[in-house]
Structures are given as structure tokens and as C-alpha cells.
């Protein structure tokens, strides 16, 4: 039975390495994203309309399985909001997420059943392992989604000062707020694609007839990032009262940079405290073994036999 555990572990490790290699090195889209779009793009009929169905067909099985899951309106709304925070805005994103959760639970249950054979017979571990594996399969997709949300929000937060500087330059050059947002979305498409995508959606919503204040407010609701909510609140307030938006954006950009520097100093100040536990549990035992080990060996080798013989 241990051979099956080794085979399952090897298959999982090989799959993880293959997925990482594909995402990191073999995916040709990364090269095209770095090179940018062609200067002259040949018109193709229905290219934009076919991209989303083609992507949906890749997850057809996950979507079908996800539709079989019983779901409440409150749970679906919460998952939809979290998927929006992570940048997944497809109409079938919730069903695909449920499908991933089902396959993860089934796979982890199978792994738990295989590992149960290595447990002692008539042991509670044989029952706990499959249950724990199934629970881990159920919680795992939500955990990974939360990690994705945190990473995307951090990327948006770190890209805000550059976007604000570019927006200040655009506004001072004579562009309106709508044109400045569109210009920033175009120029930051390579350096900060996440923030450029959000600003592009603002431009599209304004073109579709939505009010500027509502379009700006939707940015914070789509991302869930507090700094973006503060930025959009400043832009809405300046647009409503007619104050200088360039000065407000410049001050907010300086505030973000100062805050980032203060956060870095705070993290640096906490390093000493955080290093206490690794030093105590990992480094100190090794140092004690190296320093006191020879002395202990000499005591055991010479002093203890002398005590047993009654010399001392």
C-alpha cells in the first residue's frame, strides 16, 4: 500500500511542475503581452465575439458539473462578488467555481482513501483521513480564491501612484477627466494591466451612458480595494464641487508613497520580533548541539563510568 501513496504523491508533484512550467515558460501569450499589440491590426470578423465562447468551451465540463450543485442566492452572490474581486467576470464563473470545488473534493477524497490503507487497522485515523481530505478539498478553492483576491488587490494598490502621476500630467496638459482616465488605461496596459483594465471599464461604462460618478464608484465595488475606493471618492468629490483635480490627485499620490514607505519601515521594525521564534526553535538547538555536544560526549564517556564504579 505505501507504493500507492508514493505513486499518488509523484503524480501530484509531476502535475504541479507541469502546470507551473506551462504557465511560466510555455505559454505563448506571455510573449505577446510583453511585445504588445501589432501597430497595424488586420480586421477579423467576429474575433472579439468568438474569444469568450472559445474560453467557455474549455471549461464546459466544469460548468456542467457546477450547475448540478444546489446553491442559495446568498451564497452565489457572495461567490460572485469574490470572483469579481479576483478579476473573473464571466457569466459562468460561479458554475465553474462550483465545478472546480466538486472535482477537488472528489480528488482529495480519493487521495484520502488511498492513504487510509497505510493507516493501522481498526484505527480512527482511517476514518479521519478521508473526512479531512474531503474538507480540505472543499475549503481549498475558497482559500486559493482569497489568495488570488489579496494578490490582485495588492497589485492594484502598488500601481496606483504611477497611475496618479500620469493622470496629473494628463489633466495639467489640458485633458478632461474622462480623457485622462482613458489615456492612463491605454498607457499602463503593459506596465499595470490590472489597473488599466479597471480604467478601461470605467471608460466603457461612461460611453454606454452611465453617469461618471456611478462609473467611478463601480471601480471600488468591482475590486474591493480600499485605496481605489478612496481615489474614486476623491475624483467624484472634485467632479461634483469643481475643485482642482490635479492638486488633489498629486496630494493623494504623495500620501500613498509616504504610506508605503511607512509600511515598509513598520515591517522592518517587526523583523527582530519575528526572528525570535525561528532562532529559538531552529538555530539555537543546532548551536547548542555544536557547542555543548563534545562536552556532553566526554561526560558520558568518562564521568558516568567513574560514577558507576564508585571512584567519585
| pLDDT, tens only, 264-279 | 899 888 888 888 888 8
> Mutual orientation of helices 125-172 and 193-207 as an angle, nearest 10°?
70
Length reported for the chain: 312
Q: What are phi and psi of 79, to 5 degrees?
A: -70, -40
pLDDT above 90: percentage of residues in the chain: 3
Do 11 and 100 belong to one domain? Answer: yes
**Measured distance CA(193)–CA(190) in Å, rounded:** 6
Q: Minimal CA–CA distance to 168: which of 222, 219, 220, 231?
A: 231
Please indicate, yes or no, whether the overall pTM of this predicted structure exceeds 0.85.
Answer: no
Do 98 and 174 belong to one domain? Answer: no
Q: Is the dihedral of CA 132, 138, 139, 141 positive or negative?
A: positive
Domain assignment present for residue 195? The answer is yes
C-beta of residue 221 within 8 angstroms of C-beta of residue 213? no
Do 232 and 103 belong to one domain? Answer: no
Query: Which pLDDT does position 151 carry in this prediction?
Result: 92
Domain with 165, as residue range(s), is: 155-272
The vertex-172 CA angle with 167 and 173, nearest 5°, equals 95
Query: Which pLDDT does position 147 carry in this prediction?
Result: 92
Do 21 and 120 belong to one domain? Answer: yes
Kindly report, residue by residue over 105-148, the tens digit of the pLDDT: 888 888 888 877 766 666 677 778 888 888 888 898 889 999 99
**Measured distance CA(202)–CA(5) in Å, rounded:** 51
Query: Which pLDDT does position 131 carry in this prediction?
Result: 85
Kindly report, residue by residue over 153-208, the tens digit of the pLDDT: 989 888 888 888 888 888 888 888 888 888 989 988 888 888 899 999 989 988 88
Domain-ending residue, one of 94, 122, 149: 149
Do 197 and 238 belong to one domain? Answer: yes
Where residue 261 sits, what CATH number does that domain have? 1.20.81
Domain assignment present for residue 186? The answer is yes
Quote the number of domains for the chain: 2
Do 133 and 180 belong to one domain? Answer: no
Map the chain to HEC letters: CHHHHHHHHHHHHHHHHHHHHHHHHHCHHHHHHHHCCCCCCCCCCCHHHHHHHHHHHHCHHHHHHHHCCCCCHHHHHHHHHHHHHHCCCCCCHHHHHHHHHHHHHHHHHHHHHHHHCCCCCCCCHHHHHHHHHHHHHHHHHHHHHHHHHHHHHHHHHHHHHHHHHHHHHHHHCCCCHHHHHHHHHHHCCCCCHHHHHHHHHHHHHHHCCCCHHHHHHHHHHHHCCHHHHHHHHHHHHHHHHCCCHHHHHHHHHHHHHHHHHHHHHHHHHHHHHHCHHHHHHHHHHHHHHHHHHHHHHHHHHHHHHHHHHCCC
Domain-ending residue, one of 149, 178, 193: 149
Do 8 and 128 belong to one domain? Answer: yes
Res. 33 pLDDT band, cuts 50 70 90: low
Do 15 and 107 belong to one domain? Answer: yes
Query: Which pLDDT does position 253 carry in this prediction?
Result: 84
Do 128 and 164 belong to one domain? Answer: no
Do 106 and 125 belong to one domain? Answer: yes
Contacts of 186 (CB under 8 A, 6+ apart): 196
Domain assignment present for residue 246? The answer is yes
Amino acid at each position: 500500500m505505501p507504493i500507492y501513496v508514493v505513486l499518488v504523491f509523484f503524480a501530484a508533484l509531476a502535475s504541479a511542475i507541469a502546470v507551473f512550467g506551462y504557465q511560466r515558460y510555455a505559454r505563448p501569450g506571455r510573449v505577446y503581452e510583453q511585445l504588445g499589440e501589432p501597430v497595424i491590426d488586420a480586421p477579423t470578423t467576429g474575433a472579439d465575439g468568438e474569444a469568450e465562447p472559445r474560453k467557455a468551451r474549455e471549461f464546459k465540463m466544469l460548468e456542467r458539473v457546477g450547475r448540478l450543485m444546489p446553491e442559495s442566492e446568498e451564497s452565489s452572490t457572495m461567490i460572485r462578488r469574490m470572483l469579481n474581486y479576483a478579476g473573473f467576470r464571466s457569466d459562468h464563473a460561479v458554475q465553474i467555481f462550483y465545478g472546480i470545488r466538486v472535482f477537488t473534493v472528489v480528488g482529495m477524497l480519493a487521495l484520502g482513501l488511498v492513504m487510509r490503507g497505510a493507516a493501522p487497522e481498526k484505527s480512527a485515523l482511517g476514518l479521519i483521513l478521508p473526512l479531512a481530505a474531503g474538507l480540505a478539498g472543499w475549503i481549498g478553492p475558497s482559500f486559493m480564491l482569497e489568495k488570488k483576491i489579496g494578490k490582485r488587490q495588492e497589485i492594484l494598490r502598488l500601481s496606483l501612484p504611477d497611475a496618479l502621476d500620469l493622470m496629473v500630467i494628463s489633466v495639467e496638459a489640458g485633458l478632461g477627466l474622462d480623457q485622462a482616465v482613458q489615456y492612463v488605461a491605454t498607457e499602463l496596459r503593459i506596465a499595470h494591466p490590472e489597473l488599466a483594465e479597471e480604467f478601461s471599464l470605467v471608460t466603457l461604462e461612461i460611453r454606454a451612458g452611465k453617469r461618471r460618478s456611478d462609473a467611478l464608484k463601480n471601480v471600488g465595488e468591482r475590486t474591493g480595494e480600499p485605496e481605489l475606493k478612496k481615489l474614486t471618492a476623491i475624483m467624484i468629490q472634485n467632479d461634483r464641487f469643481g475643485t482642482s483635480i490635479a492638486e488633489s490627485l498629486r496630494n493623494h499620490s504623495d500620501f500613498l508613497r509616504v504610506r508605503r514607505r511607512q509600511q515598509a519601515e513598520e515591517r522592518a521594525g517587526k523583523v527582530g520580533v519575528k526572528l525570535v521564534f525561528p532562532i529559538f526553535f531552529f538555530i539555537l538547538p543546532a548551536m547548542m548541539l555544536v557547542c555543548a555536544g563534545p562536552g556532553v560526549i566526554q561526560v558520558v564517556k568518562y564521568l558516568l563510568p567513574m560514577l558507576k564504579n564508585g571512584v567519585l
